[in-house]
């Protein structure tokens, strides 16, 4: 058994919880304006992840549970967001549920068609097979979500690192807008 703070969407401290984070310095070439990213404090935390993986990675038939907290902030006009990934096993799906904050789940299929779903407390999202996913925080407080995915899904970060998503969530005249990428 594990304990959650369901309001916040955080797992309570427990030795079985894996904790990780990504800083501005670790997100090279992820944001549109790389010069602006380099000019920021490289130690700024963009997001933190907790994961409860009760079986070994790659086990068929089980599920993992995680939470993600994306800080409020921007790199130039682009909102702080997660790296984003496809699942290594492309037919593995996932649920995201928002507990706190506002933002967008950005989704992209293998043809690079990109769309978004608004995230707000109580929003529940199904990530279909073969769809890359990332979350951007366009609100004024940390955006928190819970996630559940198959333990044999795996993560393919490479395609996103190399080609990005087909669109980005930018602040345009102060409003979050999904802006198509040129490539």
Nearer to ligand F6R, 157 or 175 (CB): 157
Query: If you ran DSSP here, which 8-state letter would residue 43 be given?
Result: T
Contact string (CB under 5 A) for Zn ion, positions 84-123, x = contact: ----------x-----------------------------
Q: Which does 83 bind (CB under 5 to 8 A by kind): ligand F6R, Zn ion, none?
A: ligand F6R
Q: How far is the CB of 173 from ligand F6R (least distance, A)?
A: 28
Q: How far is the CB of 133 from Zn ion (least distance, A)?
A: 6
Quickly tell me which residue has 């700024």 as its tokens: 44
CB atoms within 10 A of CB 53: 16
Looking at the DSSP bridge assignments, the partners of residue 80 are none
The residues of the shown chain that bind ligand F6R, judged by CB under 6 A, are 49, 66, 68, 82-85, 94, 133-134, 147, 149, 153, 155
Nearer to ligand F6R, 78 or 94 (CB): 94
Residue nearest Zn ion (C-beta atom)? 94
Looking at the DSSP bridge assignments, the partners of residue 79 are 74
CB 8 within 8 A of CB 144: yes
Q: Which does 168 bind (CB under 5 to 8 A by kind): Zn ion, ligand F6R, none?
A: none
Q: Which two tokens stand for residue 180?
A: 């198509």
Nearer to Zn ion, 78 or 94 (CB): 94
Strand blocks (E) in 14-142? 17-23, 45-52, 63-70, 74-75, 78-79, 94-100, 103-108, 114-119, 124-127, 132-137
Nearer to ligand F6R, 119 or 170 (CB): 119
Closest of 117, 143, 120, 165 to residue 48, by C-alpha: 143
CB 75 within 8 A of CB 37: yes
Q: Which does 49 bind (CB under 5 to 8 A by kind): ligand F6R, Zn ion, none?
A: ligand F6R
**Residues binding Zn ion (CB under 5 A):** 94
């Amino acid at each position: 058994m594990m304990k959650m703070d369901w309001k916040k969407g955080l797992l309570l401290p427990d030795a079985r919880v894996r904790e990780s984070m990504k800083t501005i310095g670790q997100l090279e070439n992820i944001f549109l304006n790389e010069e602006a990213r380099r000019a920021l404090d490289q130690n700024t935390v963009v997001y933190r992840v907790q994961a409860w993986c009760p079986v070994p990675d790659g086990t068929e038939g089980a599920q993992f549970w995680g939470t993600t907290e994306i800080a409020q902030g921007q790199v130039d006009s682009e909102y702080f967001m997660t790296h984003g990934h496809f699942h290594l096993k492309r037919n593995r799906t996932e649920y995201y549920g928002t507990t706190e904050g506002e933002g967008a789940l950005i989704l992209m299929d293998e043809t690079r068609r990109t769309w978004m779903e608004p995230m707000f407390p109580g929003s529940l999202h199904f990530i279909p097979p073969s769809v890359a996913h990332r979350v951007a925080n366009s609100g004024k407080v940390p955006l928190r979500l819970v996630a559940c995915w198959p333990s044999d899904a795996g993560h393919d970060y490479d395609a996103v690192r190399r080609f990005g998503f087909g669109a980005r969530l930018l602040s345009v005249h102060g409003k979050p807008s999904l802006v198509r990428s040129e490539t």
